[in-house]
Amino acid sequence: MQTILVTGAGSGIGRATARAFLDAGWRVALAGRREAPLVETAQGNAQALVLPMDVTDAAAVEAGFARIASEWGRLDVLFNNAGIGLPSAPIDEIAIDDWRRLSAINIDGMFLCARAAFGLMRRQDPQGGRIINNGSISAHVPRWGSAPYTVSKHAVTGLTRALSLDGRRFNIACGQIDIGNALTEMVQQMTRGVPQANGEIAVEPVMDVAHVAASVLHMAELPLSANVQFMTVMATAMPFIGRG
Protein backbone atom coordinates (compact mmCIF):
# COMPACT_ATOMS: atom_id res chain seq x y z
CA MET A 1 0.00 0.00 0.00
CA GLN A 2 1.36 3.42 -0.99
CA THR A 3 2.05 5.98 1.74
CA ILE A 4 1.93 9.77 1.75
CA LEU A 5 2.44 12.54 4.30
CA VAL A 6 0.33 15.66 3.77
CA THR A 7 1.32 18.77 5.71
CA GLY A 8 -1.35 21.34 6.49
CA ALA A 9 -3.89 18.52 6.39
CA GLY A 10 -6.32 20.13 8.81
CA SER A 11 -7.98 22.41 6.27
CA GLY A 12 -8.18 23.66 2.70
CA ILE A 13 -6.02 22.07 0.02
CA GLY A 14 -4.35 19.76 2.53
CA ARG A 15 -7.66 18.37 3.78
CA ALA A 16 -9.09 17.88 0.28
CA THR A 17 -5.92 16.17 -0.92
CA ALA A 18 -5.61 13.92 2.12
CA ARG A 19 -9.18 12.72 1.68
CA ALA A 20 -8.65 12.11 -2.05
CA PHE A 21 -5.67 9.88 -1.29
CA LEU A 22 -7.59 8.00 1.41
CA ASP A 23 -10.41 7.44 -1.08
CA ALA A 24 -7.81 6.11 -3.54
CA GLY A 25 -6.61 3.51 -1.02
CA TRP A 26 -3.42 5.15 0.22
CA ARG A 27 -2.13 5.29 3.77
CA VAL A 28 -2.13 8.98 4.64
CA ALA A 29 -0.26 10.74 7.45
CA LEU A 30 -2.06 13.95 8.37
CA ALA A 31 0.28 16.61 9.70
CA GLY A 32 -0.67 19.95 11.24
CA ARG A 33 -0.30 21.97 14.40
CA ARG A 34 -3.70 21.11 15.91
CA GLU A 35 -4.95 17.56 16.43
CA ALA A 36 -8.71 18.21 16.28
CA PRO A 37 -8.83 19.39 12.63
CA LEU A 38 -6.64 16.44 11.62
CA VAL A 39 -9.06 14.03 13.29
CA GLU A 40 -11.89 15.75 11.41
CA THR A 41 -10.00 15.29 8.13
CA ALA A 42 -9.44 11.59 8.88
CA GLN A 43 -13.16 10.90 9.41
CA GLY A 44 -12.27 7.71 11.24
CA ASN A 45 -10.47 6.15 8.26
CA ALA A 46 -8.25 3.31 9.49
CA GLN A 47 -5.57 4.20 6.92
CA ALA A 48 -5.16 7.74 8.30
CA LEU A 49 -2.33 8.48 10.74
CA VAL A 50 -3.01 11.64 12.72
CA LEU A 51 0.33 13.36 13.25
CA PRO A 52 0.19 16.65 15.19
CA MET A 53 3.37 18.45 14.12
CA ASP A 54 4.55 22.04 13.85
CA VAL A 55 6.47 22.22 10.56
CA THR A 56 8.57 25.12 11.90
CA ASP A 57 9.93 22.96 14.75
CA ALA A 58 12.87 20.89 13.50
CA ALA A 59 12.70 18.42 16.38
CA ALA A 60 8.96 17.91 15.91
CA VAL A 61 9.43 17.33 12.18
CA GLU A 62 12.14 14.74 12.77
CA ALA A 63 9.96 12.99 15.36
CA GLY A 64 7.01 12.96 12.97
CA PHE A 65 8.98 11.36 10.16
CA ALA A 66 10.51 8.88 12.62
CA ARG A 67 7.00 7.84 13.60
CA ILE A 68 6.08 7.25 9.94
CA ALA A 69 9.18 5.09 9.53
CA SER A 70 8.24 3.16 12.67
CA GLU A 71 4.54 2.72 11.80
CA TRP A 72 4.78 2.07 8.07
CA GLY A 73 8.42 1.28 7.34
CA ARG A 74 8.62 3.74 4.45
CA LEU A 75 7.27 6.96 2.92
CA ASP A 76 6.46 7.04 -0.78
CA VAL A 77 5.31 10.66 -1.17
CA LEU A 78 5.49 13.95 0.72
CA PHE A 79 2.93 16.59 -0.22
CA ASN A 80 4.77 19.61 1.18
CA ASN A 81 1.69 21.80 1.44
CA ALA A 82 1.57 23.81 4.68
CA GLY A 83 1.62 27.56 4.13
CA ILE A 84 -0.02 30.86 5.03
CA GLY A 85 -0.62 34.26 3.44
CA LEU A 86 -0.84 37.83 4.72
CA PRO A 87 -3.27 40.64 3.95
CA SER A 88 -2.23 42.71 0.92
CA ALA A 89 -0.06 45.69 1.81
CA PRO A 90 3.01 47.60 0.56
CA ILE A 91 6.21 46.15 1.96
CA ASP A 92 6.82 49.06 4.35
CA GLU A 93 3.45 48.42 6.00
CA ILE A 94 4.17 44.75 6.70
CA ALA A 95 5.13 44.01 10.28
CA ILE A 96 8.49 42.32 10.70
CA ASP A 97 6.91 39.72 13.00
CA ASP A 98 4.36 38.84 10.29
CA TRP A 99 7.16 38.43 7.73
CA ARG A 100 9.07 36.16 10.09
CA ARG A 101 5.97 34.06 10.89
CA LEU A 102 5.18 33.58 7.20
CA SER A 103 8.81 32.77 6.38
CA ALA A 104 8.99 30.24 9.20
CA ILE A 105 6.04 28.29 7.78
CA ASN A 106 6.34 28.84 4.02
CA ILE A 107 10.12 28.56 3.74
CA ASP A 108 11.57 26.96 6.89
CA GLY A 109 8.69 24.48 7.16
CA MET A 110 9.01 23.46 3.51
CA PHE A 111 12.77 23.01 3.91
CA LEU A 112 12.54 21.01 7.15
CA CYS A 113 9.87 18.63 5.83
CA ALA A 114 11.68 18.16 2.51
CA ARG A 115 14.93 17.52 4.40
CA ALA A 116 13.34 14.87 6.61
CA ALA A 117 11.52 13.21 3.68
CA PHE A 118 14.67 13.18 1.55
CA GLY A 119 16.63 11.53 4.35
CA LEU A 120 13.99 8.87 4.93
CA MET A 121 13.55 8.14 1.21
CA ARG A 122 17.30 7.93 0.73
CA ARG A 123 17.68 5.37 3.53
CA GLN A 124 14.63 3.19 2.97
CA ASP A 125 14.62 -0.06 0.99
CA PRO A 126 13.72 0.03 -1.81
CA GLN A 127 15.28 3.45 -2.04
CA GLY A 128 13.42 6.47 -3.39
CA GLY A 129 10.19 8.41 -3.27
CA ARG A 130 8.55 11.61 -4.42
CA ILE A 131 8.30 15.12 -2.97
CA ILE A 132 5.54 17.40 -4.27
CA ASN A 133 5.89 21.02 -3.19
CA ASN A 134 2.91 23.36 -3.14
CA GLY A 135 4.00 26.50 -4.96
CA SER A 136 1.56 29.13 -6.22
CA ILE A 137 0.71 31.32 -9.17
CA SER A 138 2.79 33.80 -7.14
CA ALA A 139 5.83 31.64 -7.87
CA HIS A 140 5.55 33.09 -11.39
CA VAL A 141 4.01 36.56 -11.01
CA PRO A 142 3.10 38.59 -7.92
CA ARG A 143 -0.18 40.00 -6.77
CA TRP A 144 -0.26 43.59 -5.57
CA GLY A 145 0.94 43.90 -1.97
CA SER A 146 2.18 40.32 -1.75
CA ALA A 147 5.94 40.68 -1.22
CA PRO A 148 6.30 38.18 1.68
CA TYR A 149 4.13 35.50 0.07
CA THR A 150 5.70 35.97 -3.36
CA VAL A 151 9.23 35.75 -1.94
CA SER A 152 8.31 32.54 -0.12
CA LYS A 153 6.85 30.89 -3.22
CA HIS A 154 9.88 31.79 -5.33
CA ALA A 155 11.92 30.09 -2.60
CA VAL A 156 9.75 26.98 -2.98
CA THR A 157 10.55 26.89 -6.71
CA GLY A 158 14.27 27.03 -5.89
CA LEU A 159 13.82 24.16 -3.46
CA THR A 160 11.95 22.13 -6.07
CA ARG A 161 14.65 22.60 -8.69
CA ALA A 162 17.47 21.79 -6.29
CA LEU A 163 15.78 18.64 -4.95
CA SER A 164 14.99 17.48 -8.48
CA LEU A 165 18.70 17.53 -9.22
CA ASP A 166 19.97 16.23 -5.88
CA GLY A 167 17.40 13.44 -5.76
CA ARG A 168 18.39 11.75 -9.01
CA ARG A 169 21.11 9.56 -7.54
CA PHE A 170 18.72 8.35 -4.82
CA ASN A 171 15.63 7.75 -7.03
CA ILE A 172 13.85 10.71 -5.41
CA ALA A 173 11.65 12.73 -7.75
CA CYS A 174 10.52 16.26 -6.92
CA GLY A 175 7.80 18.31 -8.58
CA GLN A 176 5.75 21.40 -7.85
CA ILE A 177 2.08 22.23 -8.21
CA ASP A 178 1.24 25.92 -8.65
CA ILE A 179 -2.37 26.59 -7.71
CA GLY A 180 -4.56 29.54 -8.58
CA ASN A 181 -7.82 30.42 -6.83
CA ALA A 182 -8.87 27.03 -5.49
CA LEU A 183 -11.88 27.74 -3.31
CA THR A 184 -10.78 27.15 0.28
CA GLU A 185 -11.15 29.16 3.47
CA MET A 186 -7.99 31.06 2.51
CA VAL A 187 -9.43 32.04 -0.89
CA GLN A 188 -12.98 33.00 0.14
CA GLN A 189 -11.93 36.63 -0.17
CA MET A 190 -11.67 36.19 -3.95
CA THR A 191 -15.45 35.86 -4.10
CA ARG A 192 -15.86 39.23 -2.36
CA GLY A 193 -13.18 41.19 -4.22
CA VAL A 194 -9.41 41.58 -3.96
CA PRO A 195 -6.94 44.29 -5.03
CA GLN A 196 -5.87 44.27 -8.68
CA ALA A 197 -2.71 45.65 -10.27
CA ASN A 198 -4.56 48.74 -11.53
CA GLY A 199 -5.80 49.63 -8.06
CA GLU A 200 -9.31 48.31 -8.51
CA ILE A 201 -11.04 45.79 -6.24
CA ALA A 202 -12.53 42.94 -8.25
CA VAL A 203 -14.17 39.57 -7.70
CA GLU A 204 -12.12 36.75 -9.26
CA PRO A 205 -13.16 33.36 -10.66
CA VAL A 206 -12.47 30.36 -8.43
CA MET A 207 -12.41 26.59 -8.92
CA ASP A 208 -13.34 23.58 -6.82
CA VAL A 209 -10.46 22.43 -4.61
CA ALA A 210 -11.20 18.86 -5.71
CA HIS A 211 -9.39 19.61 -8.97
CA VAL A 212 -6.22 20.33 -7.00
CA ALA A 213 -6.52 17.09 -5.06
CA ALA A 214 -6.99 15.13 -8.28
CA SER A 215 -3.94 16.82 -9.80
CA VAL A 216 -1.73 15.96 -6.81
CA LEU A 217 -2.97 12.36 -6.95
CA HIS A 218 -2.04 12.19 -10.64
CA MET A 219 1.47 13.46 -9.89
CA ALA A 220 1.89 10.99 -7.03
CA GLU A 221 0.68 7.94 -8.95
CA LEU A 222 3.29 8.24 -11.69
CA PRO A 223 6.17 5.74 -11.59
CA LEU A 224 9.42 7.23 -10.31
CA SER A 225 10.77 7.02 -13.85
CA ALA A 226 8.36 9.85 -14.76
CA ASN A 227 7.82 13.22 -13.10
CA VAL A 228 5.55 16.22 -13.43
CA GLN A 229 8.20 18.86 -12.85
CA PHE A 230 5.79 21.81 -12.70
CA MET A 231 2.02 21.83 -12.97
CA THR A 232 -0.22 24.90 -12.93
CA VAL A 233 -3.88 24.26 -12.09
CA MET A 234 -6.08 27.33 -11.82
CA ALA A 235 -9.50 28.83 -12.26
CA THR A 236 -9.62 29.26 -16.04
CA ALA A 237 -10.50 32.94 -16.17
CA MET A 238 -8.54 34.22 -13.17
CA PRO A 239 -6.04 37.04 -13.77
CA PHE A 240 -2.79 35.16 -14.29
CA ILE A 241 -2.13 35.27 -18.02
CA GLY A 242 -1.70 39.00 -18.52
CA ARG A 243 -1.58 39.71 -14.79
CA GLY A 244 0.05 42.99 -13.91
Is the distance from CB of 91 to CB of 144 less than 8 angstroms?
A: no
Question: What positions carry a catalytic annotation?
Answer: 149
39-50 tens-digit pLDDT: 999 999 999 999
What's the pLDDT tens digit per position in 30-41?
999 999 999 999
Is the pTM above the cut of 0.75? yes
3-234: what fold?
Rossmann fold (3.40.50)
List Cβ neighbours of 158 (8 Å cut-off, separation of 6 or more): none
Give the whole-angstrom CA distance, residue 143 versus residue 228. 25
- In tens, the pLDDT along 100-112 reads 999 999 999 999 9
3-state secondary structure of 59: helix
User: What per-residue confidence (pLDDT) applies to 242?
Assistant: 66
Quick: pLDDT tens for 195-219.
888 888 888 889 999 999 999 999 9
* Tens digit of pLDDT at every position of the chain (244 positions): 999 999 999 999 999 999 999 999 999 999 999 999 999 999 999 999 999 999 999 999 999 999 999 999 999 999 999 999 999 999 999 999 999 999 999 999 999 999 999 999 999 999 999 999 999 999 999 999 999 999 999 999 999 999 999 999 999 999 999 999 988 877 777 778 888 888 888 888 899 999 999 999 999 999 999 999 999 999 998 888 866 4
Query: DSSP of 147-175, one letter per residue?
Result: HHHHHHHHHHHHHHHHHHHHTGGGTEEEE
Angle 96-103/147-166 helices, nearest 10 degrees?
Answer: 20
Q: What is the pLDDT of residue 107?
A: 98
Inter-axis angle of helices 35-42 and 12-23, to 10 degrees? 40
